[in-house]
Structure 1
Amino acid sequence: MADKYEVRRRNPNPNSVALLVIDKQNYFTSIAKPIIPPLNASIDLCRSRGIPIFFTRHRHLSQEDHAMLGEWWSGDLILEGTHGAELLPSLHRRDADPVVEKTTYSAFKGTNLEEVLKEKGVEEVIVTGVMTNLCCETTAREAFIRGFRVFFSTDATATANDELQAASLMNMAYGFAYLISVERLQAALV
């Protein structure tokens, strides 16, 4: 469905790109499980090319630390110190990989992600993870607005259902990001 809007194609530059792995946490296990193989393949591929990899972790320190999310999700928050807040153990994450702690949909708001990316000479980001239409899409939009070239994974992102996934991919292709699968990523980074 996103093919209709994917009128721009480009490959990431391995010398200026970073991989963002958004919120692959126990809280999202049922959504995240089907995309673990393409996500781990993306992580391994980027790691083999020396591409920086950043993981994000969404969590709240208390039920009151929520801004609008607590209202929107009726208090169903991911609390620090709970099993749901931990990153999935099946991820190909290494201890040295940075983890960006966040409390809202964006990996940029209230974090130092932008500064760290710029310090590393990163000009492009590949967005992977969950949930496609919330944290992944918000992070991709903010990256675009902040001047980063954005690549958005079609097979290493997931959300609650196919309809929301398709809508996000169409939005990304139409106005914010180059779509990329793990297969296309592999071909681009050969």
Structure 2
Amino acid sequence: MAPKTALLIIDMQRYFESMTTTALPNIKRLITHFQHTSSPIIFTQHGHTPDELSGKTSNQLVRKWGPNGSIAINSHAWHIQDSLQHYLKDTPSPTTKPSSKRPRIVLKNTYDAFINTNLQQILDEANVQRVVVCGVMTDCCCDTTARSAFNRGFETWLVGDACGSANRKQHEAGLRGFGFAFGEILGTEEACGRLGEEE
């Protein structure tokens, strides 16, 4: 029996729009495939609270990039990109029970989407055994979340042509590092093909 698979779409927010023009059509193709099979789709959304941005709490990313280089929750840049908004219609809040019929949103404030979130619980409740990771940035949140999934026992695919980063060098470095010691690097066509064979 094929492992139950979830699609993790990492941080496809307005803030990163310029980094994802090439990846976006492939992400949409993956979403369509997962919708067709009623498999879980989870979006992550990265952002920081006013307390984090003011320095009242010790968030390492805010310390690294500074308040002006960080994404404020509810800012214009924080929202999911406009071209993906229709996929999120009727999306349940982060506190409702998971459903394979509708995407979920997991709010996060670190590179790793498993830290300080309920992502593990969502995947466990849906009996997920494999995750397919795409989004932005390849060498930061995508790579870190994919490594964390691998380390937690999930079979993990990172879809190279459905990820984006600040430049090609960083993108390719993220793929190389993950592929060397962690899960598989696949293209969108190959990922959809493999999943299709399991249906």
- TM-score, length of structure 2 as denominator length: 0.85
Distance 1:111 1:186 in 2: 28
Taking only the aligned residue pairs, the percentage that are identical comes to 35
Pairing partner for 1:178 from 160, 176, 184: 184
Gaps of 5+ in 2: 92-102
Higher helix proportion (structure 1 or 2): 2
Pairing partner for 1:135 from 137, 141, 145: 141
Pairing partner for 1:74 from 57, 66, 78: 66
| CA 1:66–1:23: 2 relative to 1, 3 Å | farther
Pairing partner for 2:78 from 85, 90, 95: 85
Matched, 1:189 2:181: no
Q: Verify the 8 A CA contact 1:24 1:129 in the aligned structure 2.
A: yes
DSSP-derived class of the 2:80 partner: coil
**How do residues 1-190 of structure 1 correspond to structure 2 at under 5 angstroms?**
13=2, 15-62=3-50, 63=53, 64=55, 67-75=59-67, 76-91=69-84, 93-95=87-89, 96=91, 97-190=103-196
Instruction: Please list the CA deviations of residues 130-161 of structure 1 after superposition, one character each: whole Å capped at 9, or x if unmatched.
Output: 00110001101111111111000010001011
Distance 2:191 2:133 in 1: 12
DSSP-derived class of the 1:55 partner: strand
RMSD, aligned CA: 1.3
Q: CA deviation at 1:66?
A: 5.8
Task: For CA contacts below 8 A with separation 6 or more, give which structure has more relative contact order.
Answer: 1
> Which runs of 4 or more aligned residues in structure 1 lie more than 6 Å from their structure 2 counterparts after TM superposition?
none
Distance 1:88 1:129 in 2: 11
Distance 2:78 2:132 in 1: 23
Q: How many residues align?
A: 177
What letter matches 2:170 in structure 1? L
- TM-score, length of structure 1 as denominator length: 0.89
Distance 2:74 2:124 in 1: 31
Gaps of 5+ in 1: 1-12
DSSP-derived class of the 1:34 partner: coil
Distance 1:98 1:186 in 2: 21
DSSP-derived class of the 2:20 partner: helix
